[in-house]
Structure formats: structure tokens, C-alpha cells
Chains A and B, each alone.
Chain A
Amino acid sequence: MNTNRLFNILVPLISALIGLIAGALIMLGFGYNPIKGYAALWNGAFGDIYYFGETVRQVTPYIFTGLAVAFAFRSGLLNIGAEGQVIVGWLAAVWIGTTVEAPMIIHLPLAIIVAGLAGAIWGFIPGLLKATRGVHEVIVTIMLNYTALYSANAIVRNVLSDNEDKTPDVAGTASLASEWFQNMTYFSRMHYGIFIALFAAVIMWFIIERTTLGYELKSVGYNEHASKYAGMSVKRNIILSMVIAGAFAGLAGAMEGLGTFGYMSVQSGFNNLGFDGIAVALLGANTAIGVVLAAILFGSLKVGGLNMPTEAGVPTELVDIIIALIIFFVASGYIIRWAILRFKKEEK
């Protein structure tokens, strides 16, 4: 048990390190100074209170999408649909934010809850199909991503605005934006959502580790048939798992809609929050605390990476390659796990 825990900490750490080293080699190979490059990355993410605020802003939705993927994964489900769940959550939050009039104490929670519900519904569909018809959730969630993208675009264009590219801004009573944070961080778009995100991570930990529901979900993840034999409702647990996962992703959309942007625009493609969430969950070993840490790493890479061309002259394309390498090594954590295991065996 103890070694297992050590493993879970060691493997992602080594993966991230190897990724960074591989990135450094690539930079060297192309004649750029890797120390300067990573210094620029660090500066771009934490070098200044403004960048710090932007990093926190980027980390917030990553925590949610990471949780969304991790939660489903704990019950053996691959939630590739976080992307679409984010979009419907975003749309729902902005819809409530722009059309409803209410005092903040009602308006803001309402917008957030409806966003979570929208995401939950988007997770319910693949959950239901998987539980009752055995349709693989990967296929359904991928297709629902596109459904969400194009439906949301049509609604933004035709319902929420008058044939324009974006909705009006959400009312002040539904906004997560914080003047206090903004003043503190030189007008970054850091908002109160980070607290909700951290709270959500605690909720995930609590559900998984401390409730019967969590126990059943994990059990279904380990062995469906044994769980069924033990008297658990596998169908119910599959659906519930996807619903809760979808709700997490929907909340990520609320963060974008109510916090970062304050509106929704017509999207020409996916914004990758959901797909990056898969990597975040993998790196975080599908645990709540791991997801938070991994989200911080990914948020820093994303925001800091923007600074590498400006400060260190590393071309944008190379930055993408380096970040992709880090993700690659993170995803191939199993290789490292295998290597360590082999190493241990020899020891015996």
C-alpha cells in the first residue's frame, strides 16, 4: 500500500521531469538556450503578479475538467466528452447570466448550478446509453462534443444575440469577476472561481473516499461483475458517475462564461479545455489532490508558454512541441511505472 502511494507520486513527477528534459533537448537541438527558454516559461507563469493571476485563471477550469475526467475514470469510464460538457455549461451559465434578473445572492449561484446541470445532462446521455444499451461512452461523448459545439454556436448567433459573433456580457450580479483580484494582479482576469474549483476538488475527494456512493463507484470501476454480484446496481452507478463528471465539466464552462470572458462567442473549434483535462487527470493519477497539482502544472505551461517567443525567442511552434512532449511523457507514465517495477524486481 505504502509503495503504491509512493508510486503514484513518483511516476507523474518523473514523467513531468523527463518531459521538461526532452523539451530542453529539442530547444538545444534547434539552437535555443533551454535555460533561457524555461526561465521565460517560468516568468510568463509566475514572474509577475499579473502573470500569476492569469495562471490562476487558466488553472481554474483545468481543475474542473481534470476532475470531470478523473471522476468518471474511477468508475472505469473514459469521459472524452468533457469538451462538450464545458461548452454546454458555458452556454447555460451565460444564458442565465444574460437573461435572468435577480440579486447576486440568487443570480450567481443559479447561473453556476444551471451550468453544472447542463453539463450533467450532457454526461447523462452517454451514461444512460452505456448502462442500458452498452454503447461505448467514448464514441457517444466524442460525437456529443460536436453536437454541443455547433448547437451552442447556433444558439449564440440566433437566440442569445442578434446574428452577432458573441452574446452580450453577463449581468454584474452573475459575474465571478473580482475587482479586488484584478486590482491586486494588475488587471489579470483572475476571478473567484478558483475557490469553487478547490472546493469541488474537496467534494470529489469526499465522495470517492468517504461515502458509500464513492465506494460503489470505485468498485464498479474495478470489477463490474463482482460489484453486481455484491448487490450493487451497476447501471445506476455508471449513469451517476457520468452525471457527476459532466457536472464538473459544466462548472468549468461556468468559470469561462462568468469569470474569464463574461460572455460566450461563436467558437470556430474546440478550446481544448476538456481534452487537456484528460491529460490533467492522467498526470494527477485520477485523485482529487493530484488533479489540482496537475492543473497547476498545465495552467502554468499554457500561460507561461505564451511568453517563450517574446522573451526567449523560442518560436511558438517549438513551444507547442515542448508542451506536447511533456504531455506525451506524462501519458506514458506506464512505461516509467514498468521501469521502476523492473528495477525493484531486480533488487529482490
Chain B
Amino acid sequence: MTVKNRKLLFLFAIFLTLGMLLAACGGGDDSEGENADSESGSDSESNETTEASEESTDFSSAMVTDVGGVDDKSFNQSAWEGLQAWGEEHGLEEGEGFDYAQSNDDSDYQPNLNRLVREDFNMVFGIGYKLEDAISEVAGQYPDTNFAIVDSVVEGDNIASITFADHEGSFLAGVAAANKTNTDKIGFVGGTDSDLINKFESGFVAGAKTVNPDIEVEVQYAGAFDAPDDGKLIASNMYNNDIDIIYHASGATGNGVFAQAKDIKNNDAEREIWVIGVDRDQYEEGAIGDQNVTLTSMIKRVDNSVQQVSNMAMDGEFPGGEVLEFGVEDEGVGLADTNEEAYTDDIAQPVDEWKQKIIDGDVEVPQTHDELDEYLNSL
């Protein structure tokens, strides 16, 4: 008897768990119906009308990260901070007015973009060039939603391409380096020898030579963005050659530059050598004991750009089909002043002066090697 009871109990337990599951599924079914109603294609007209009537009060904006994730301390995080700031600015709540979808691998980009569109977000950002294809495809399917891609250019009437004036920021980095150097020799380490990184190089060389035409700038390309060992080797050669400041635009390769600078500092704390970081404030990268080898960093303000474009779209001025370049003028690129001991007023002052000159159009910062040659000849 007891045995039978026990068996019954076991069956009962299974039924109970099954029931729980079914209840959960059942709940899903209900909302599924609602969703399907509000999202099915036949209802797109009513969607449009609600969008139109609510646009001023109920605008919403969301973003899809690349595989780096929303806490990558770089691009994605910066974009999300921008979106949060935008939400705060307009008193919106996460999940309602603004949201993000995280991609765990490359195949997630499209479903994530689609999901946000179907959740009726009016503006959807793709963060990073990896979402190029997904954005261009999804944007073609949903012509009524606004899309934007960061750090890449995608064609389409409902796509805004957000790029940064890397050469202008690098110009300021060059100015800072020229004012800081004791040896009048500085270095540049690039990732791949491509148009994009040439922009960094040209701006940097132009900035340094503008301050002091006699400064020597040694340029080397590591050939990869993920080769810290090569970066370390190049940095070691440069520092041995009396170069005291290296600006890197080489992603993770630059970690090798930081490592080498810190190694030298470890052996000889008195020696004055510096690294200039890129993309985000790399102050933490350069910390060694009480000292810090990060002079400054050329920051790309992805957050500002996301915030601005969201606002433009909200005000009905979405720059669809355009390529936006964020430069020093709109705080899209700039230098970090976190290392106050190294980045003193003597440096900040000329940097600000040149920044003003770029904004006023007094200098046209070169973007390519050809433009750089021309610029240097005109000095």
C-alpha cells in the first residue's frame, strides 16, 4: 500500500511540475495573441498612425550591441551610456523608452534588430561595423523605422551612418605630444596600414609638426589589431631610440605598447615616457604604482553621438541616408584630461587653442598621406 502511495506521489509531483510549466506556457500564449495582433503586417497602417500621433511624446530609441556586450568598457558601453543619458534627458524608463539587445554571436544581430523594430522602437542603433550587413538588410525590410550604424557607412534612406573625425582628435594628440616631449622625438603605432588608421597618423603628425616643425615622428604599423607582442616590440625599439611619447591607434596591439612603457617605468621610475591611448580613456591601462604612463587618450564620444542622433530623430530631423561625422566641434572626439600630473595646463592650453582653430576652420586637418604632405609643405 505504502509503495503504491509513493508511486502515486511521484506521479503527482511530475504532474505538478508539468502543470507549472504549462501554466507558464499558457501565459505566453495569451500575450502571444496580443503581440501577434499588434505586430502583424496587416496592422502596419494603424502602427504608423499611432507612431505619427505619438511621435512627439512617445519617441523611443534602442540599440543592438555587437559581441563585445554592453559592459565592454569601450564602444558598446559608451553607446549605452549615451542612450541612458538620452533617456534621462527625456524622463524615459528603460525597457519602455529606451533599451538595448545584447548579441552573443554574429547570428544574433538580425533577430535582435528585428525584435527591437517589432517592439515598436522608432530609432534603432547598430553599434560597430560588424552590424553593417544586418542593418542594411533589416532597414530595407522596415522602411518606416530609423536606423543608425556607428563607425561604418551603410547606404539607405532610413539609415544614418555615424563616423568620427579621428584625424581631428589625433591632431590634438599630436599637439599635446609636441608640447610634452623632452627629446623632440615621438612615435606612432598603427594597427593595419589602412585608410582609417592613416587618418589617425596624418592628424597626429600634422598636429605635432604644427607645434614644432623640427619634431621627428616615427611611424610604424604592426599589421594587426590583436598583436600585443608586436606592439611591445615596436614600443621597445621606439623607446630605445629616444622616443618618449607613443600614440597608438591599434586596438589590443596597443596593450603591448602600454606593457612596454610600464616595464621601462618599473626598471627606471625616473625616466619620462608616455603613451597616448585611443578610442576611450585609457588612463587605467597606464597605471603603475603611484605613477601613470598614460599622458592622455584620444576619445571618441560614441555616447554623445548616440544621444544627438536620438534627439535629431525625435525632433523629426533624422539624418537618413547621410554620413554624419562627429568632430571636435560637437565634442565627438577629444582628449582626456584624467592624468592631471602629466597633462598639465601648459599642455591643455595649446590643445584648447588648436581645438578652437579647428572649430573655426583656421586649420584643415589632413586625412590622408597626400593631404599630409601638402599640409607639411604649407607650414
Residues of A with Cβ closer than 8 Å to B?
A: 14, 17-18, 20-21, 24, 34-36, 38-44, 46-48, 50-51, 54, 58, 163, 165, 186-189, 256, 260-261, 265, 267-268, 271-272, 303, 306-307, 309-311, 313, 316, 343, 346-347
Contact = CB atoms under 8 A, between A and B. Distances in A.
Interface stretch (B29-37, B199-207, B298-306, B326-334): B29-37
Contacts of B25: 38-39, 42
B378 interface: no
A46 B101 contact: no
A41 B141 CA distance: 24
A346 B102 contact: no
Given A48-B118, A309-B101, A310-B99, A43 B35 contact: yes
A93 to B, nearest CB: 15
B14 A38 contact: no
Contact of A187 (B69, B112, B141): B141
A186 B41 contact: yes
Contacts of A260: 107
B361 interface: no
Contact of A17 (B21, B23, B67): B21
A42 B28 contact: yes
B316 interface: no
Contacts of B23: 35
Contact of A42 (B24, B108, B118): B24
Contacts of A58: 107
Interface of A is mostly: helix
Contacts of B7: 347
Given A303-B111, A347-B3, 19 more contacts: A17-B18, A21-B17, A38-B25, A38-B28, A42-B29, A43-B28, A43-B35, A51-B111, A187-B137, A189-B110, A256-B107, A261-B106, A272-B105, A306-B111, A310-B99, A313-B95, A316-B69, A343-B6, A347-B7
A303 B118 CA distance: 15
Contacts of B130: 165
Interface in B87-146: 95, 99, 101-102, 104-108, 110-112, 114-116, 118-119, 130, 137-138, 141
B141 A50 contact: no
B141 A39 contact: no
B21 A310 contact: no
Nearest to B137: A187
Nearest to B67: A268
A45 B345 CA distance: 57
A163 B191 CA distance: 13
B101 A306 contact: yes
Given A35-B24, A43-B32, A47-B35, A309 B102 contact: yes
A260 B105 CA distance: 13
B88 to A, nearest CB: 18
A230 B51 CA distance: 74
A306 B112 contact: yes
Contacts of A307: 115
A48 B67 contact: no
Interface string B6-20: 110010001001101
A265 B24 contact: no
Contact of B105 (A21, A271, A313): A271
Contacts of A36: 27
A42 B141 contact: no
B270 to A, nearest CB: 40
A318 to B, nearest CB: 12
Nearest to B10: A343
Contacts of A271: 105-107
A309 B112 CA distance: 11
Contacts of A14: 14
B39 interface: yes
B35 A48 contact: yes
Contacts of A261: 106-107
A303 B27 CA distance: 19
B227 to A, nearest CB: 14
Contacts of B106: 261, 265, 267, 271
Task: Tell which of A271, A309, A313 has the most Cβ of chain B within 10 Å.
Answer: A309
B101 A20 contact: no
Contacts of B112: 306
A24 B20 CA distance: 10
B21 A46 contact: no
Given A14-B14, A17-B21, A48-B39, A306 B115 contact: yes
A39 B20 contact: no
B312 to A, nearest CB: 24
Given A35-B27, A307-B115, A21 B20 contact: yes
A310 B116 contact: yes
Nearest to B141: A187
Contacts of A165: 130
Task: Tell which of A43, A44, A267, A343 has the most Cβ of chain B within 10 Å.
Answer: A43
7 contacts: A17-B18, A39-B31, A47-B31, A165-B130, A265-B106, A306-B104, A310-B101
Contacts of A42: 24-25, 28-29, 32
Interface string B219-240: 0000000000000000000000
